Amino acid sequence: MWSQIISLLNDKKHLTPNGIIQIASLKSILNQGLSTKLKLEFSKLKKIFFLDRKEYKPDNNKLNPYWISGFIDGDGSFFITINNKNNHVSARLSIG
């Protein structure tokens, strides 16, 4: 997706009305999408496909272990540090 946007920018197509519409269409389906103001302005043109994203709300009683492991596999890092002075070992899981 980003490679298509970058290609449009490199080809200077962002300087044309159709190029801007293509970039806005691609941006609208990415994670953050378009802002409310941009959606309003571009919806007047009726040439942009908008994707409504559903918000994921996990069940507080039971998390799916496959979802958690997939999320950590994609965005997580595990760090282990050892303090040389007292041999204290600490482990840390970071999700970015």
Domain residues for the domain of 77 are 68-95
pLDDT, tens digit, 9 for 90 and up, residues 18-77: 887 777 777 777 777 778 888 777 777 666 666 566 676 766 777 788 888 888 888 888
CB atoms within 10 A of CB 9: 13
52 assigned to some structural domain: no
Spell out a b/e string for 41-55, using b for 16 or more CB atoms within 10 Å of the CB, else e: ebeeeeebeeeeeee
| Domains in the chain, number | 2
- Do the domain assignments include residue 72? yes
pLDDT digits (tens, 9 = 90+) for 1-31: 678 878 888 888 878 888 877 777 777 777 7
Q: Can you tell me the distance from the alpha carbon of 94 to that of 45, in angstroms, rounded to the nearest whole number?
A: 43
Q: How far apart are the first and last CA of the chain?
A: 21
pTM to 2 decimal places = 0.43
Determine, yes or no, domain membership for 17.
Answer: yes
Closest CA to 75 of 67, 83, 65: 67
